[in-house]
Amino acid sequence: MANNEDAFKKVVSHAKEYGFIFPSSEIYDGLGAVYDYGQLGTELKNNIKNYWWKSMVQYHENIVGIDSAIFMHPKIWKASGHVDAFNDPLIDNKDSKKRYRADVLIEDHIAKIEDKIKKEVEKAHKRFGDAFDRDQFVHTNARVLEHQAKIDEITKRYSQCMNDNDLVGLRQLILDLEIVCPISGTRNWTEVRQFNLMFATQMGSVSEGSDTIYLRPETAQGIFVNFLNVQKSGRMKIPFGIAQIGKAFRNEIVARQFIFRMREFEQMEMQFFVRPGEELKWFEYWKAERLKWHLALGIPADKYRYHDHEKLAHYANAATDIEFEFPFGFKELEGIHSRTDFDLSRHSEFSGKKLQYFDSELGENYTPYVIETSIGVDRTFLAVFSHALKDETLEDGSTRTLLSLPPVLAPYKAAILPLVKKDGLPEKAREIFDQLKHDFMLQYDEKDAIGRRYRRQDAIGTPFCITVDNDTLETNTVTVRERDTMQQERVAIDELDVYLHKRIKPIAIN
């Protein structure tokens, strides 16, 4: 595709045109950073959730899943630190009147310098061909070293400001880096202020007697406050995990980048409870394990990278992000955090209930430490969808739009297509549809020439097209066309079940 911006526009328009994602309340001109999933988007999203749930809960004997309420006692957010510290630093440009996250302005600036390094590397790679040694180049080339030194210096100042909550220093850094507003092009910035991201609402009848409650900004707290319930009722032994998928809400300052940053979104989180002192070992374990989960989808490894945090959240003693190369660059897709005993200790303190575990092997009581893995459903959607969407030129010069989704995530696993609308082919096709529909999401399509039907399925990511032709009636076989290679093979109708199951499975994990 022409460039990244065009590619991203194409992602947004394709998602809408084919019923994956619509802007929320569109007939009323939409609502900022809120989106609705359409008929195909819902299937893809459910498949992402199933893929995660299976690999976490079904494949691990010591992980169970829950579904806690979105409304929770307001004290929970005091205890968790969200009322006091779940803030983003915001800054306004006085000329354009546009609002930005101060930290994002700085991170974008760093990303631009990283881009320059990437370009130097690409240029050198072209020049030296196969003999090119990337490692040696980035450690010796003067220009690259200069860029890297700049990045290191900015990162150091930036982390210091964030850790010390130094808003004046943050603003000074923006001025020193000569960062301009992308709209007005000026450096006329306001002070930096903190902005709390939680949505508040009232529970109970109006005014007196009603309580301010918050829409949860993460699903994790629903797990912590149920720690004892699950541990006791499930007779769970440490180490063990509790998983949850659910909605979270954040009043994000800047609404942009489609479903990357939404105000209502969904998270898939797992809290893994371990012995104190063993948390860093488990942190490394989950860091590796979670990357494997992504790679099992078959997306190339160079689209992912770890980003270890310099600035740690108030509760963490180690943290890393798994970043994905979205059309707008590498950005966080998943966070893996070592949350210490912060949450359970705070909830013990605020609720007056002892949230501890008796370890019969050690013969002692302790507050477990926690490793969290936290991933956005919508960001995963955007990652797989944007990577899958391609315009392809075929050997005969014609073009097709292809959505090469991992088969396990594709909305429809197969399309059942009678070659023509006569000679008993539609009836046979319907029979096959009924035979397979209990196990697979299928689409039946008999309209238009077969070539056009194939293209329609390519564009919505259906991995297999099953065509019923005149031979089918005599031989009880069909043609199966594979989406990405467009290769066709003859398969017996009786074997379709096994054939599809085998090919839809992701690369084995765990």
Q: Is 45 in the site for ligand ATP (CB under 6 A)?
A: no
| Minimal distance, residue 415 CB to ligand ATP, in Å | 31
Nearer to ligand ATP, 87 or 148 (CB): 87
* Token code pair at residue 363: 């013969």
* Token code pair at residue 173: 């850094």
Report the candidate in 274, 302, 299, 298 with the shortest Cα–Cα distance to residue 286. Answer: 274
| Minimal distance, residue 485 CB to ligand ATP, in Å | 32
In the block, which residue shows the tokens 């238009």? 448
| Residue selected from 114, 289, 332, 446 as contacting ligand ATP according to rule CB under 6 A | 332
Q: Is 261 in the site for ligand ATP (CB under 6 A)?
A: yes
Kindly list the distances between the CA atom of residue 103 and the CA atoms of 88, 161, 189, in Å, as whole numbers in the listed order: 8, 10, 14
| Minimal distance, residue 130 CB to ligand ATP, in Å | 37
**In this structure, is the dihedral angle defined by the CA atoms of residues 216, 324, 48 and 403, taken in order, positive or negative?**
positive
* Cis amide bond preceding 418, omega within 30: no
| Minimal distance, residue 374 CB to ligand ATP, in Å | 4
| Minimal distance, residue 140 CB to ligand ATP, in Å | 33
| Minimal distance, residue 220 CB to ligand ATP, in Å | 9
Q: Is 147 in the site for ligand ATP (CB under 6 A)?
A: no
Task: Give the binding range for ligand ATP (CB under 6 A) out of 4-12, 262-270, 404-412, 436-444.
Answer: 262-270
Burial of 502 (0-12, 13-18, 19+ CB in 10 A): exposed
Q: Hey, what amino acid is at 215?
A: L
x/- site string to ligand ATP, residues 229 to 258, per CB under 6 A?
---------------------x-x------
| Minimal distance, residue 262 CB to ligand ATP, in Å | 4
Q: Is 333 in the site for ligand ATP (CB under 6 A)?
A: yes
| Minimal distance, residue 250 CB to ligand ATP, in Å | 5
Q: Is 267 in the site for ligand ATP (CB under 6 A)?
A: yes
Nearer to ligand ATP, 92 or 332 (CB): 332
Nearer to ligand ATP, 268 or 274 (CB): 268
In the block, which residue shows the tokens 């394709």? 14
Task: Report how many residues bind ligand ATP under the rule CB under 6 A.
Answer: 15
Q: DSSP labels for 142-195?
A: HHHHHHHHHHHHHHHHHHHHHHHT-HHHHHHHHHHTT---TTT----B---EEE
Burial 400-411 (b: 16+ CB within 10 A, else e): ebbbbbbbbbbb
Report the candidate in 333, 244, 312, 318 with the shortest Cα–Cα distance to residue 274. Answer: 318
Task: Give the binding range for ligand ATP (CB under 6 A) out of 36-44, 52-60, 149-157, 332-340.
Answer: 332-340
Q: Is 56 in the site for ligand ATP (CB under 6 A)?
A: no
Q: CB neighbours (10 Å) of residue 472?
A: 22
SS3 for 338? Answer: strand
| Total residue count of the chain as it appears in this document | 510
Q: Is 343 in the site for ligand ATP (CB under 6 A)?
A: no
Q: Is 107 in the site for ligand ATP (CB under 6 A)?
A: no
| Residue selected from 20, 37, 240, 265 as contacting ligand ATP according to rule CB under 6 A | 265
With vertex at residue 300, the alpha carbon angle to CA 297 and CA 301, rounded to the nearest 5 degrees, is 100
CB 318 within 8 A of CB 280: yes
* Token code pair at residue 445: 């399509």
x/- site string to ligand ATP, residues 353 to 382, per CB under 6 A?
---------------------xxx-xx---
Task: Give the binding range for ligand ATP (CB under 6 A) out of 329-337, 338-346, 405-413, 479-487.
Answer: 329-337
Q: What are phi and psi of 79, to 5 degrees?
A: -60, -40
With vertex at residue 316, the alpha carbon angle to CA 315 and CA 322, rounded to the nearest 5 degrees, is 130
Nearer to ligand ATP, 250 or 428 (CB): 250
SS3 for 418? Answer: strand
Q: Is 57 in the site for ligand ATP (CB under 6 A)?
A: no
Q: Is 384 in the site for ligand ATP (CB under 6 A)?
A: no
Nearer to ligand ATP, 46 or 87 (CB): 87
SS3 for 101? Answer: strand
| Residues at the contact surface with ligand ATP, assessed by CB under 6 A | 250, 252, 261-262, 265, 267, 332-335, 374-376, 378-379
